[in-house]
Amino acid sequence: MSSQLSMIVAAIEANTGKKARSAGNGYRVVCPLHGKSDANLSISDGDSKVLLHCHSHHCDPKDILESLGFNIRDIYHEQLNPQQSKHHAIKAQRNQIRESLQVELLILLQSYSDFYKDLYADQGADGKRVRLAVSRIGNAMDFFKKEGIS
């Protein structure tokens, strides 16, 4: 067990008041973000970092770590060099943009289904929200084009 895994498991146990239990190559613990009594968070050592997976609410590992006073750098077995750090920052930005796009696309789908269902008029707050969604999708597409992703 890595020192990072030991440190994070100990912090979760202290935060939740529940002991970790062994599971495969790692542990199952109570997720500190929603604190039920079920051990629904898997935590184990990966090749280069500690892996966290909340099975019940799919909590973001970054949010789990921050709730314990850690940051995402604390999961790595070795300190990242500047190039690795930049790579992970870009990957995190892409994931955030992808998640935002999913939300915006759902909003557009709902809006268009309302349009065809009730001859939705593109007015008022709903219309403004649709225009904002289209704008955000355009911005994300520009970002991906700039990054060479099509």
SS3 sequence of 8-24? HHHHHHHHHCCCCEEEC
Residue-level pLDDT at 43:
92
Residue-level pLDDT at 120:
44
CA separation, residue 91 to residues 1, 58, 71, 94, 98 (Å): 27, 19, 16, 5, 10
Q: Which two tokens stand for residue 84?
A: 């690795």
Residues paired with 81 in a beta bridge: none
Q: How many CB atoms lie within 10 A of CB 60?
A: 15
Residue-level pLDDT at 127:
67
- Cβ neighbors of 93 (< 8 A, separation 6 or more) are none
H helices within the chain, ranges in order?
A: 3-16, 61-67, 82-118, 124-146
What are 78-81's contacts with CB under 8 Å, separation 24+? 78/48
Residue-level pLDDT at 77:
75
Residue numbers of the chain with a pLDDT score lower than 50: 119-120
Residue-level pLDDT at 27:
92
